[in-house]
C-alpha cells in the first residue's frame, strides 16, 4: 500500500511542475503531512484473538505507522504466533511490514499457552488464507534494536504480549533505552489479576522480562486491566461492525463473535478489550486517565509472582537499624517509572475501534 502511494505521489509531483511553486508546496504539504506525522510503532505480539483486534486497529489508524511486527510466545507458541502474524498482515495486504520471529520461550520459566481463551489456532479457530508475506530473517529483538537506532527518539514500542522480546533487546543493547520515544504496553494491574488473584497474563507469562522493561528507565505507559476490564465489547458494538463488510471488517467481526460467545458462557456482559486498549492509547492518549507511580514486578512471591506492584502514594518509610530493631526515621519519596492508566472513556474507545475497523 505504501509503495503505491509513493508511486502516485511521484507521478503527482512530476505533473505539477507547470503550477506555481507556492501552490505546489501547499499541495505537497497536504499530501505529505499525515505520513510524516504518523507515530512510528513496533508492534510486539503473541497473536492471539485480542492481538488480532489490536493489530487491525493499528493498521487501520492513520495516526500510527507500523514499522515492524515482532512475535513473542504467549497466548500461543512462537511458531503458531508467527504464522498468525504473517496471515494477518497478508490479509491486510501489508507485506511491506517486516514480521520477525523473536524469543521461543520466556526467560526463566515454562511457557503457558492460552488456546482455552483464543481457540486452538489462537485466532478464534478462524482459518485465514495462507500468507503471501514472508518472514523477516532477522531476530525480533535485533529488529527492535536496529529500528530504534535508525529513528532515534521516534519509535514507540507497543508490546501486547509477554515482555520477553523487549527485555532481550534491552539486555543486548541498553543504549536503545534513551533512544526509544516511549513504551506503551498492555499488561499488569494494580487491582488484582486475571490469571489468579494477583497477576495479569502478559506479566505472569514472563515476570523477569517485565521487571527489566519496567525498570529500564524509559517513558512507559502501562495499559492494564484497569482499562481492558472497563472496556467491554458488547453485542451493541458487534451489530455496528456487522453493518459493513471487507476482509478486515469480516475477520474482526468473526473474532469478536467468538469472544462474545466465550464471555457469554462465563456470564460476562461483554468481552474485555485488552490488547487494542494499548493501541488506542497510542492513537489518542486522552482516552485514558493516568497516574504516575513506581511499579515493580513481583518475581518471588508465593501468591503474587507476576503482580505489578504500584506504589500509589509515591513514598516509602525509611527504616534505620538501631541496635536490635529498625526505627522509622522519615518518609522517602519514590520516583515514578510508569504512567499507569487508571480509567478509560470506554464508549469513546469502543466507538473509535469500531469505526477504524469499518474503515472510517
Ligand atoms: Ca497479546
CA 274 to centroid of ligand 1, rounded, Å: 8
According to the model, what pLDDT value does residue 219 have? 98
Separation between Cα atoms, residue 81 and residue 102, nearest integer Å = 10
Closest CA to 77 of 109, 55, 49, 48: 48
The reply to whether 76 falls in a domain is yes
CA 201 to centroid of ligand 1, rounded, Å: 9
The reply to whether 17 falls in a domain is no
CA 67 to centroid of ligand 1, rounded, Å: 18
CATH number of domain containing 224:
3.90.245.10
Q: Is-contact 209 163, C-beta < 8 A? A: yes
- All three cell numbers of 89: 498482515
CA 45 to centroid of ligand 1, rounded, Å: 5
CA 332 to centroid of ligand 1, rounded, Å: 36
Separation between Cα atoms, residue 239 and residue 262, nearest integer Å = 17
The reply to whether 329 falls in a domain is no
88-102 b/e (C-beta count within 10 Å ≥ 16 → b): bbbbbebbebbbbbb
According to the model, what pLDDT value does residue 14 have? 42
According to the model, what pLDDT value does residue 9 have? 42
CA 74 to centroid of ligand 1, rounded, Å: 7
The reply to whether 89 falls in a domain is yes
CA 231 to centroid of ligand 1, rounded, Å: 16
First-to-last alpha carbon distance for the chain, in angstroms, is 17
The reply to whether 111 falls in a domain is yes
The reply to whether 66 falls in a domain is yes
CA 315 to centroid of ligand 1, rounded, Å: 32
Phi and psi torsions of 102, nearest 5°: -120, -140
- Report how many domains make up the chain: 1
CA 35 to centroid of ligand 1, rounded, Å: 27
Phi and psi torsions of 234, nearest 5°: -120, 175
- All three cell numbers of 335: 520516583
CA 75 to centroid of ligand 1, rounded, Å: 7
Q: Give 74-110 pLDDT, tens digit per residue.
A: 999 999 999 999 999 999 999 999 999 999 999 999 9
The reply to whether 7 falls in a domain is no
Q: Give 219-235 pLDDT, tens digit per residue.
A: 999 999 999 999 999 99
CA 78 to centroid of ligand 1, rounded, Å: 12
Separation between Cα atoms, residue 161 and residue 140, nearest integer Å = 13
Domain with 223 in it: 39-295+336-357
- Written as tens digits, the pLDDT of the chain (360 aa) is 444 444 444 444 444 334 455 444 444 444 444 455 899 999 999 999 999 999 999 999 999 999 999 999 999 999 999 999 999 999 999 999 999 999 999 999 999 999 999 999 999 999 999 999 999 999 999 999 999 999 999 999 999 999 999 999 999 999 999 999 999 999 999 999 999 999 999 999 999 999 999 999 999 999 999 999 999 999 999 999 999 999 999 999 999 999 999 999 999 999 999 999 999 999 999 999 999 999 999 999 999 999 999 999 999 999 999 999 999 999 999 999 999 999 999 999 999 999 999 998
The reply to whether 290 falls in a domain is yes
Amino acid at each position: 500500500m505504501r509503495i503505491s502511494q509513493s508511486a502516485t505521489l511521484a507521478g503527482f509531483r512530476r505533473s505539477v511542475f507547470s503550477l506555481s511553486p507556492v501552490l505546489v508546496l501547499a499541495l505537497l504539504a497536504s499530501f505529505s503531512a499525515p505520513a510524516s506525522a504518523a507515530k512510528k510503532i513496533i508492534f510486539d505480539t503473541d497473536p492471539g484473538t485480542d492481538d488480532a483486534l489490536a493489530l487491525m486497529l493499528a493498521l487501520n489508524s492513520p495516526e500510527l505507522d507500523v514499522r515492524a511486527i515482532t512475535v513473542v510466545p504467549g497466548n500461543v507458541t512462537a511458531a503458531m504466533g508467527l504464522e498468525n502474524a504473517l496471515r494477518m498482515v497478508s490479509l491486510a495486504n501489508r507485506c511491506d511490514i517486516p514480521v520477525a520471529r523473536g524469543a521461543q520461550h520466556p526467560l526463566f520459566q515454562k511457557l503457558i499457552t492460552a488456546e482455552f481463551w483464543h481457540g486452538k489456532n489462537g485466532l478464534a479457530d478462524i482459518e485465514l488464507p495462507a500468507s503471501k508475506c514472508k518472514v523477516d530473517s532477522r531476530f525480533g529483538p535485533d529488529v527492535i534494536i536496529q529500528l530504534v537506532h535508525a529513528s532515534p527518539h521516534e519509535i514507540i514500542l507497543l508490546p501486547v504480549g509477554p515482555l520477553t522480546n523487549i527485555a532481550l533487546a534491552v539486555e543486548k543493547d541498553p543504549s536503545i533505552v534513551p533512544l526509544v520515544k516511549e513504551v506503551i504496553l498492555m499488561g499488569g494491574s494494580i487491582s488484582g489479576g486475571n490469571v489468579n488473584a494477583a497477576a495479569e497474563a502478559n506479566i505472569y507469562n514472563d515476570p523477569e522480562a517485565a521487571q527489566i522493561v519496567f525498570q529500564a528507565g524509559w517513558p512507559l505507559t502501562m495499559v492494564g486491566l484497569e482499562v481492558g476490564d472497563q472496556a467491554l465489547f458488547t453485542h451493541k458494538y458487534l451489530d455496528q461492525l456487522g453493518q459493513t463488510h471487507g476482509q478486515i471488517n469480516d475477520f474482526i467481526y468473526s473474532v469478536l463473535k467468538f469472544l462474545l460467545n466465550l464471555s457469554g458462557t462465563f456470564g460476562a456482559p461483554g468481552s474485555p478489550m485488552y490488547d487494542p486498549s494499548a493501541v488506542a492509547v497510542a492513537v489518542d492518549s486522552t482516552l485514558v486517565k493516568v497516574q504516575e507511580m513506581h511499579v515493580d514486578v513481583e518475581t518471588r512471591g508465593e501468591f503474587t509472582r507476576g503482580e505489578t506492584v504500584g506504589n500509589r502514594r509515591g513514598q516509602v518509610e525509611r527504616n534505620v537499624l538501631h541496635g536490635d530493631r529498625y526505627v522509622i526515621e522519615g518518609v522517602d519519596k519514590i520516583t515514578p517509572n510508569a504512567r499507569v492508566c487508571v480509567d478509560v472513556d470506554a464508549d469513546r474507545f469502543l466507538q473509535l475501534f469500531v469505526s477504524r475497523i469499518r474503515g472510517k
